[in-house]
């Protein structure tokens, strides 16, 4: 399956004196207990460090990460002894997953280097969470990421957008030397457990050789790129109407600050500028949430009710007392939404700074998808308590989000009606595509950049230049102001600063529609995919729960087949979902100079 690991096993195992089966079983029992204990310790410290950002909490999470890193590197080396021991399939699967743990990153055996890596990882995350922009002279009103994101979402003033965009990226400049050192140390740790570099370790987690996985990403993106290029062409033409061709030229990339998002990764905030049929269809869910005085708890309770309508159990009571659902007033926190299972025993939590917006309501459903996945597989050994592959975890909640249709919003009282005429459908699909389709190239380039950084194909003196080369190639965007190697724009994204692999989000973008199509079929809903909803289907809940309970105990094609009957990731479901918009875009952009 993974050539480098197979070779490592062959070299490390002593054929003369292989461990006995009893010794192997004892090792597996000890491995599971120690991994669970240290993971709970690390998760607890990590939770505190992200919800109370101080020097002390950074130190605590650094120590916990260091302990887990030491355990993982030592256990991987020890596990190589059992290459020829007669172990059951579950144990074999656990040994594979042990080598693929990448959060925290693989660490060198040298204790000094390991401590340094743990400290750097904690510091990078803290720099991101503490980041503020206080104006060019440092004497202005200081704004955190959430406040700067509001500017990006709401402003249409060129200079104000540039200021917020460039201002946030100043927080990443101090990360640059730390990131370079982290790459070197984690690569050293990866080589010690049989990988060429960290990027190869990441690409090895998909039940196929790492080079085959890179080719799979290219295949999937190649099938979806024409749809993105259509959307890019149309959005650019509408932005030209607003800002002029001198600033948004024909056949050119789009200036990054104009797309309503700090990283140009989703464009739904520019929907008012690009709406195909203004005034057709009531789509302002955010206004309804504000008018209805929806608070964070009500939004999360609504998400929970979606899952329970399918026969799944309610969230544990501890979820409501231990989660962080709103931004505290008395301390610095990382608001980036995430779902947690602290103890692998249903200590489920969500960390968010929820606001009454449609985007946050959707995000709530997504994060609860993680929590329900975590709960479903909690009976498995700890190393198998994860997604079939990491894209599955991201896709689960998103697949259910596709059932948040206008009809669903009407049921919640957030829309007055669910207009079904063609113009309303195109408007709704445009709004969805600005989120889903626009995201695809960003989710590809994130790890393309890191794979090349870890492999040494991108040297530290080209970190920023190479980032923007990939952004131009994949997204068709350019920075609004000159950049240099004094900048570290990749670090302005949470997942770079915190070392979280990102290909999972691209895979989720494909799988969510594939899951949705499969669940619509199970529910017997034969309407077009963009209208279908599986809310309330107990049969979907049963089949869905069975797939979730598999965790990582089987190769991911087995899990995919359990729900869909298919064994290959298939972007055709996404293309089918957006069929009405694709037809409209083809007509609307006919004769235009598309591409960049």
Known active-site residue 370: yes
Q: What's the token pair of residue 442?
A: 């960003």
Nearest one of 501, 488, 505 to 131, comparing CA atoms: 488
SS3 of residue 348 by DSSP: strand
Measured CA to CA, the distance from residue 295 to residue 297 in angstroms comes to 6
Q: Which of 64, 121, 214, 336 is catalytic?
A: 336
Count CB-CB contacts under 10 A for residue 125: 23
Measured CA to CA, the distance from residue 162 to residue 480 in angstroms comes to 7
Known active-site residue 358: no
Known active-site residue 505: yes
Known active-site residue 516: no
Q: Which of 271, 304, 332, 366 is catalytic?
A: 366
Nearest one of 282, 270, 281 to 238, comparing CA atoms: 270
Q: What's the token pair of residue 319?
A: 């979820």
Q: Which of 370, 393, 516, 530 is catalytic?
A: 370
Q: What's the token pair of residue 87?
A: 């172990």
| Residues whose CB is less than 8 angstroms from the CB of residue 283 and which lie 6 or more positions away in sequence, other chains included | 415, 427, 428, 431
Measured CA to CA, the distance from residue 82 to residue 322 in angstroms comes to 40
SS3 of residue 478 by DSSP: strand
Measured CA to CA, the distance from residue 135 to residue 138 in angstroms comes to 5
Q: What's the token pair of residue 192?
A: 């010690």
Please check whether residue 217 is in contact with residue 131, taking contact to mean a CB–CB distance below 8 angstroms: no
Query: With the C-alpha atoms ordered 323, 326, 330, 336, is the resulting torsion angle positive or negative?
Result: positive
| Residues whose CB is less than 8 angstroms from the CB of residue 226 and which lie 6 or more positions away in sequence, other chains included | none
Please check whether residue 148 is in contact with residue 134, taking contact to mean a CB–CB distance below 8 angstroms: no
Known active-site residue 366: yes
Query: With the C-alpha atoms ordered 286, 292, 297, 300, is the resulting torsion angle positive or negative?
Result: negative
Known active-site residue 336: yes
Q: Which residue has the tokens 């946030």?
A: 168
| Residues whose CB is less than 8 angstroms from the CB of residue 182 and which lie 6 or more positions away in sequence, other chains included | 105, 117, 120, 121, 124, 499
Q: Which of 70, 394, 435, 436 is catalytic?
A: 394
Measured CA to CA, the distance from residue 571 to residue 555 in angstroms comes to 20
In terms of DSSP bridges, do strands 348-351 and 338-341 run parallel, antiparallel, or are they unpaired?
A: antiparallel
Q: What's the token pair of residue 431?
A: 């709004």
Measured CA to CA, the distance from residue 434 to residue 418 in angstroms comes to 20
Known active-site residue 337: yes
Known active-site residue 469: no
Q: What is the DSSP string of 512-525?
A: HHHHHHHHHHHHT-
Q: Which of 115, 337, 455, 472 is catalytic?
A: 337
Measured CA to CA, the distance from residue 75 to residue 96 in angstroms comes to 12
Q: What's the token pair of residue 376?
A: 């479903």
Q: Which of 389, 495, 516, 530 is catalytic?
A: 495
Q: Which of 70, 116, 367, 435 is catalytic?
A: 367
Q: What is the DSSP string of 529-556?
A: TTT---TT-HHHHHHHHHHHHTTTSS-H
Start-to-end CA span in the chain (Å): 39
Measured CA to CA, the distance from residue 552 to residue 556 in angstroms comes to 7
Residues designated catalytic: 336-337, 366-367, 370, 394, 495, 505
């Amino acid at each position: 399956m993974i050539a480098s690991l197979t070779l490592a096993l062959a070299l490390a195992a002593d054929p003369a004196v292989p461990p006995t089966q009893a010794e192997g079983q004892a090792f597996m029992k000890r491995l599971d207990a120690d991994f669970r204990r240290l993971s709970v310790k690390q998760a607890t410290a990590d939770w505190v460090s992200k919800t109370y950002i101080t020097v002390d909490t950074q130190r605590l999470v650094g120590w916990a990460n260091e302990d887990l890193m030491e355990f993982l590197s030592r256990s991987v080396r020890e596990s190589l002894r059992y290459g020829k021991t007669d172990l059951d399939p579950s144990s074999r699967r656990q040994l594979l997953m042990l080598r693929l743990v990448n959060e925290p990153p693989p660490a060198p055996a040298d204790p000094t280097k390991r401590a340094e890596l743990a400290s750097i990882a904690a510091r990078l995350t803290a720099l991101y969470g503490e980041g503020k922009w206080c104006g060019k002279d440092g004497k202005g009103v200081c704004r955190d990421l959430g406040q700067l994101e509001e500017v990006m979402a709401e402003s249409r003033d060129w200079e104000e957008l540039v200021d917020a965009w460039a201002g946030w990226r100043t927080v990443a400049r101090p990360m640059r030397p730390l990131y370079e050192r982290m790459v070197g140390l984690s690569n050293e740790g990866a080589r010690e457990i049989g990988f060429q570099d960290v990027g190869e370790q990441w690409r090895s987690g998909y039940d196929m050789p790492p080079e085959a996985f890179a080719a799979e990403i290219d295949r999937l993106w190649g099938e979806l790129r024409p749809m993105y290029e259509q959307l890019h062409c149309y959005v650019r033409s509408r932005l030209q109407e607003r800002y002029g061709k001198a600033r948004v030229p024909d056949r050119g990339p789009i200036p990054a600050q104009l797309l309503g998002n700090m990283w140009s990764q989703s464009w739904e905030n520019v929907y008012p500028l690009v709406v195909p049929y203004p005034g057709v269809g009531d789509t302002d869910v955010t206004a309804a949430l504000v008018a209805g005085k929806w608070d964070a708890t009500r939004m999360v309770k609504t998400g929970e009710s979606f899952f329970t309508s399918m026969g799944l159990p309610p969230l544990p009571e501890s979820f409501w007392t231990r989660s962080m659902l709103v931004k505290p007033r008395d301390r610095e926190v990382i608001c980036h939404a995430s779902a947690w299972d602290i103890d692998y025993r249903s200590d489920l939590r969500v960390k968010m700074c929820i606001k009454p917006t449609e985007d946050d309501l959707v995000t709530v459903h997504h994060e609860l998808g993680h929590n329900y996945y975590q709960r479903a597989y909690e009976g498995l050994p700890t190393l198998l308590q994860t997604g079939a592959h990491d894209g599955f975890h991201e896709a689960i909640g998103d697949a259910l989000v596709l059932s948040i249709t206008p009809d669903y919003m009407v049921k919640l009282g957030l829309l007055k009606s669910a207009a079904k005429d063609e113009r309303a459908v195109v408007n709704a699909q445009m709004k969805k595509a600005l989120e889903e389709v626009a995201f695809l190239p960003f989710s590809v380039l994130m790890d393309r950049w890191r794979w090349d950084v870890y492999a040494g194909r991108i040297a530290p003196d080209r970190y920023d230049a190479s980032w923007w080369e990939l952004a131009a190639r994949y997204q068709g965007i350019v920075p609004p102001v000159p950049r240099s190697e004094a900048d570290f724009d990749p670090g302005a994204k949470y997942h770079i600063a915190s070392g979280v692999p990102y290909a999972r989000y691209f895979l989720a973008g494909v799988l969510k529609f594939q899951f949705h199509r499969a669940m619509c079929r199970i529910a017997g809903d034969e309407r077009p995919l963009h209208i279908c909803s599986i809310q309330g289907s107990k049969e979907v809940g049963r089949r869905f729960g069975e797939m979730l309970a598999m965790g990582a105990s089987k190769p991911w094609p087995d899990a995919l087949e359990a729900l869909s009957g298919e064994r290959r990731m298939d972007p055709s479901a996404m293309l089918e979902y957006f069929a009405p918009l694709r037809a409209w875009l083809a007509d609307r952009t006919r004769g235009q100079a598309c591409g960049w």
